Structure 1
Amino acid sequence: MTDDHIRAAYGARAAEYTSLLGSVEDMHELDRQRIKGWAERIDGQVVDAGCGPGHWTDFLHRQGVKIQGVDLVPEFIDSARARFPGVSYRVASLRDLGVPDGSVQGVLAWYSLIHVHPGDLPAVLSGIARRLTHGGHLLIGFFEGAAAQPFEHAVTTAYYWPVGQMRLMLGESGFHVCDVETRQDPGKRPHAAMAATVR
Structure 2
Amino acid sequence: MTETATREAYDGLADTYAELFTTAFEGNPLDRGMHDAFAELVTGAIADLGCGPGRVTAYLHSRGLDVFGMDLSPRMVTLARQAYPDLRFEQGSMTGVPVEDASLGGIVARYSVIHTQPEELPVIFAEFARVLAPGGHLLISFYAHDGAELAEPFDHKVTRAYRLSPDGVAGLLAEAGLKEIARLERQPNEGERFLQGCLLLRKDPAV
Task: Give the TM-score, by structure 2 length.
Answer: 0.92
Corresponding residue of 1:180: 183
CA RMSD across the alignment: 1.3
Does 2:203 align with 1:198?
yes
**CA–CA distance in structure 2, aligned partners of residues 27 and 75 of structure 1:** 25
User: 1:81·1:89 contact (CA, 8 Å) conserved in 2?
Assistant: yes
Specify the SS of the correspondent of 1:13: helix
TM-score (norm 1): 0.96
CA separation of 1:22 and 1:91: change in aligned 2, threshold 3 A: farther
Match of 1:161 in 2: 164
The one-letter code sitting in structure 1 at the alignment partner of 2:142 is F
Structure 1 residues 27 and 95, CA gap change in structure 2 (3 angstroms) = farther
Paired with 1:127 and 1:156, the residues of 2 have a C-alpha distance of: 24
Match of 1:51 in 2: 51
Report SS of the residue matched to 2:181: strand
- With 44-53 and 138-147 compared, the bigger mean Cα shift is at 138-147
Gaps of 5+ in 2: none
Contact 1:22 1:54 in 2 (8 A): no
1:36-91 deviation line (CA, Å, top 9, x unaligned): 22112111100000101110001111111000000010100011001111011011
Range with bigger deviation, 186-195 or 87-96: 186-195
Q: Contact 2:182–2:201 (CA<8 Å) still a contact in 1?
A: yes
- Percent identity between the two aligned chains: 34
Question: What is the distance in 1 between the residues matched to 2:28 and 2:69?
Answer: 20
Residues 1:107 and 1:186: Cα distance change in structure 2 (over 3 Å): closer
Alignment of structure 1 residues 75-90 onto 2, 5 Å: 75-90=75-90
SS of residue paired to 1:119: helix
Secondary structure of the equivalent of 1:154? coil
Where do 4+ consecutive residues of structure 1 move more than 3 Å?
Answer: 22-27
Cα distance between partner residues in 2 of 1:27 and 1:72: 25
How far does residue 29 in structure 1 lie from its aligned partner after superposition? 1.8
Q: Quick one: structure 1 residues 106 and 25, their matched pair in 2 at CA, closer, same or farther if it must change by over 3 Å?
A: closer
What are the ranges of 5 or more consecutive residues in structure 1 without an aligned counterpart? none
**For the Cα contact (< 8 Å) 1:22–1:53, is it kept in 2?**
no
Question: Using a 3 Å threshold, how does the CA distance of structure 1 residues 27 and 97 change in structure 2: closer, same or farther?
Answer: farther
Equivalenced residues, count: 199
Structure 1 residue 167 displacement after superposition: 1.3
Matching residue of 2:19: 19
Partner Cα distance (1:25, 1:193) in 2: 13
Instruction: Report the Cα distance in structure 2 between the residues aligned to 1:132 and 1:73, rounded to whole angstroms.
Output: 23
Q: Structure 1: how far apart are the matches of 2:23 and 2:97? A: 23
Instruction: Tell me whether 172-181 or 19-28 shows the greater mean CA deviation.
Output: 19-28
CA distance in 2, matches of 1:26, 1:8: 27
